[in-house]
Structure 1
Amino acid sequence: MRLSVIGCGYLGAVHAAAMASIGHEVVGIDVDQRKVASLSKGEAPFFEPGLQEILTEGIASGRLRFTTDMSQAQGAKVHFVGVGTPQQKDGYAADLTYVNAAVDGLLPYLSAGDIVAGKSTVPVGTAAELTPRVEATGATLVWNPEFLREGFAVKDTIDPDRLVVGVPAGDPGETAADVLREVYHTAVAKDTPFIVTDLATAELVKVAANAFLATKISFINAMAEIAEVTGADVTQLADAIGHDVRIGRRFLGAGIGFGGGCLPKDIRAFSARAEELGRGESVAFLREVDAINLRRRERAVQLVLEALDGSVFKKNITVLGAAFKPHSDDIRDSPALDVAVRLHGLGAWVTITDPAAIHNAQRLHPQLNYVEDRDEALREADAIILVTEWDEYRRELTPEHAATLTRGKVVIDGRNGWDATAWRGAGWAYHGMGRP
């Protein structure tokens, strides 16, 4: 099937390459000439495991191409819209400028029977506002939210755990759902749940999922705050309540909290939309979820201060990680960088290392020191803080080896990813998040 993907950022580039990898003919369209040039040469503009391989394969096969020319979308059966919806500069609401521009730019090239499939995370009600413009061309608007995990985005696109398609009522909606089943034929053949809803429900599915995940993470971080003043161990607490099948252990890891380009701005946009709908009280708890999350970053900084007798001035501190999560070079709203910048502001000499995100971080915060090699970054450090749980930090770095490199033996475990007993047994002053 011929497909177009409007917007070739993180979501769009992965989606375009993944759709080509399962046999479709795909054109990716973006206004950023440098991005299009990079993708056209088969070069992934960001780090995502598996993307480079399917991008190279798609370009070589002729099934995948990229352009800045919107008219090249003409003739495609399904047009996916995957542009960004950042937080507005003057408030919490989502900025729909790019969504509206993408749809308006696409309208002249739509034909009767075409399907426009929104994938961007948008406030509920957005599809209803866009529908008249799309239907005036004879095309059908549906909403097909993405559920990608950065670091696993290729797998999540090709082999998702579920597919959700919001469609209009009647024959156009039924026809569109059937076409989307053909688009995702490999997943459908594996009996992947294919959930057909109305448009509003499909929009809500994505933001509700993110809100729930953010709430679960902030819940255990709230418990960490209680643990810190009572002497309890939040990791043991999480293990104990995680055995309850109604709760589960996943995403009950206390630490410095979540970041990235989705969860923080999506829960804020959800709160703002609820206020617009007159139901702000329904999700008022999300404000506290956000506040708890931000407090954990400050707590990590406090732990460093406490461990270094109240001052980090002219102390060498090595920050392990810059990306907001491992297996990614994404630094958007990164807790790791936030902590590093705060420590720098207190007078510390901060050295950051990361397997993938150094160059992105350096462009945003050139005032910090960056070292690619982990061991070199650890040399002469007065303290180490783990903020992004890459395997080469969490699993491969031993306390014995670290002690041969650093000046001090102070470690702050911002992700509770290390064995406290092992580090203390090796002579380190170990400080965890919500751990005695």
Structure 2
Amino acid sequence: MPYRLTVLGTGYLGATHAACMAELGFEVLGLDVDQAKIDRLQAGDLPIHEPGLEDMLRRNLESGRLRFTTSYEEAARFGDVHFICVGTPQVKDGYAADVSYLDAVVESLAPHLDRECLVVGKSTVPVGTAERLAEKLVRLAPAGMQVELAWNPEFLREGYAVQDTLHPDRIVLGVASERAEKVLRDVYAPLGEVPIVVTDFPTAELVKSAANAFLATKISFINAMAELAEAAHADVKQLSQALSFDERIGGKYLNPGLGFGGGCLPKDIRAFMARADELGAHQALTFLREVDAINMRRRGRMVDVARELLGGEFTGRRVAVLGAAFKPNSDDIRDSPALEVAVTIAEQGGDVAIYDPAALGNARAAYPHLGYADSALEAARDADVVLLLTEWQEFVRLDPEALGDVVAVRNIVDGRNALDAEAWRDAGWHYRALGRP
């Protein structure tokens, strides 16, 4: 008989995992303590923007393979494998990760576990968390040693989460027994031939943190080169292209611009540094402090370039901001570079008008004092400068002539190096981009 799965936590990761596991043919029960969220999901209403996910959610609700609850007792009774998919945000008073949501799930679920089962953590956690939670599970569960823990980190990219779940480039299994490994191999067997790395708890925990740290470092490296290119009157876009042909370096995540944001990379590299400090290995990750600093400087530099185009003053000037989400194909505004730039310009007297294809609702709720528009043309109407801050294809495909007809002055700053600079200059625009002459 196939395993029955529960997914504990129905945010971005949990909703995706639940729908995709049901799509693979499993019976899946999703759990969350937020009744309103559960009601929306059970009605087929996805609370987040993720291409392809809402259709998959509805399809599996209709099939009966997927449903949702707020009851831990029901989840324990239903599931053979329990996936923990709750968040680990940055603590308010430091860099460390807040793992209280993980502890809350274990403390709520374990007292109802009265038979053999596997609990699988997918959240990004400080190394050492899994071992601690494994001991807590055995201590609190009536079934005792029959309840095992495994750690199976996720590697999802927002905007590509369905693809990354159903067609992963690797699966990492942090396990303490052959039984746990077999169960997880069985669960993921419907994915076909996928490289599987079987390891211990601490290595599995480190894999996700190390991957995010490497990606952040690569992004900040090319943005550091953008700072140098500006000082030397060079073109960082051409520099990046030249580097990308070196197979040791490659071109992915080597696009210079406004830098990274979102709910993962920034807080994960800070938590990685904090945990290294706790382990007495702080020197190993000191470079990540500069990675973080370079990334944050990009936002200030974007404001500086926009101000320069306006003669050194935002007051009384209209600024069109294209983008609110931290990346395209998402409505996630957590630590959004675009919104931080918009807020800073508004604080300096600019009349800001923001448009984003998916994140306007979230942006309006978080920053009601800012100005918003329902299209790129509306945002740009009578603008003294246009800022492209999230590289949605809708913005990349904008007609420079059509946009030029509605602005007050043809000034544009390409914060993502996503536009054809010559095409915009040929249309009479004063084009600026980070790291380019």
Tell me which interval the TM-score lies in, with the shorter structure as reference length. over 0.9
Alignment match of 1:176 (pick from 160, 175, 180): 180
**2:41 pairs with 1:33:** no
User: How many Å separate the matches in 1 of 2:182 and 2:242?
Assistant: 45
Deviation string 1:392-433 (CA, Å, 9 cap, x unpaired) is 101x10211211111111000100111111111111111110
Give the corresponding residue for 1:227. 229
**2:122 pairs with 1:119:** yes
User: For the Cα contact (< 8 Å) 1:217–1:257, is it kept in 2?
Assistant: yes
| 1:23-102 aligned within 5 A | 23-73=25-75, 74-102=77-105
User: For the Cα contact (< 8 Å) 2:6–2:78, is it kept in 1?
Assistant: no
**2:189 pairs with 1:185:** yes
Shift, 1:114, TM fit: 0.5
| 1:341-352 aligned within 5 A | 341-352=343-354
Deviation string 1:269-323 (CA, Å, 9 cap, x unpaired) is 0000000000010001111100000000000000001111101111111000000
Shift, 1:111, TM fit: 3.7
User: How many Å separate the matches in 1 of 2:375 and 2:307?
Assistant: 26
**2:259 pairs with 1:251:** no
User: For the Cα contact (< 8 Å) 1:27–1:72, is it kept in 2?
Assistant: no
**2:135 pairs with 1:132:** yes
Out of 17-26 and 135-144, give the one that drifted further.
135-144
The amino acid across from 1:430 in the alignment is Y
Shift, 1:113, TM fit: 2.7
Give the corresponding residue for 2:150. 142
SS in 2 for 1:427: coil
Give the corresponding residue for 1:153. 161
The amino acid across from 1:326 in the alignment is P
User: For the Cα contact (< 8 Å) 1:256–1:297, is it kept in 2?
Assistant: yes
SS in 1 for 2:55: helix
SS in 2 for 1:140: strand
User: How many Å separate the matches in 1 of 2:131 and 2:97?
Assistant: 16
User: For the Cα contact (< 8 Å) 1:326–1:388, is it kept in 2?
Assistant: yes
SS in 2 for 1:289: helix
Give the corresponding residue for 2:418. 417
Give the corresponding residue for 1:196. 198
User: How many Å separate the matches in 2 of 1:69 and 1:161?
Assistant: 34
Instruction: Let me know the Cα RMSD of the aligned residues.
Output: 0.8
User: How many Å separate the matches in 2 of 1:158 and 1:265?
Assistant: 26
Give the corresponding residue for 1:305. 307
The amino acid across from 1:121 in the alignment is T
Query: Is there any run of 5+ residues in structure 1 with no aligned partner, and where?
Result: none
Give the corresponding residue for 1:426. 427
| 1:361-372 aligned within 5 A | 361-372=363-374
The amino acid across from 1:152 in the alignment is Y
| 1:6-25 aligned within 5 A | 6-25=8-27
User: For the Cα contact (< 8 Å) 1:26–1:65, is it kept in 2?
Assistant: yes
User: How many Å separate the matches in 2 of 1:78 and 1:379?
Assistant: 54
User: How many Å separate the matches in 2 of 1:420 and 1:426?
Assistant: 10
User: For the Cα contact (< 8 Å) 2:170–2:194, is it kept in 1?
Assistant: yes
User: How many Å separate the matches in 2 of 1:16 and 1:94?
Assistant: 24
The amino acid across from 1:87 in the alignment is Q
Deviation string 1:95-121 (CA, Å, 9 cap, x unpaired) is 011000001111012244310000010
Percent identity over the alignment?
Answer: 56
User: How many Å separate the matches in 1 of 2:210 and 2:229?
Assistant: 28
The amino acid across from 1:179 in the alignment is V
SS in 2 for 1:184: helix
Shift, 1:379, TM fit: 1.0
Normalising by structure 2, we get a TM-score of: 0.97
| 1:264-413 aligned within 5 A | 264-394=266-396, 396-413=397-414
Out of 61-70 and 212-221, give the one that drifted further.
61-70
User: Aligned pair count?
Assistant: 429
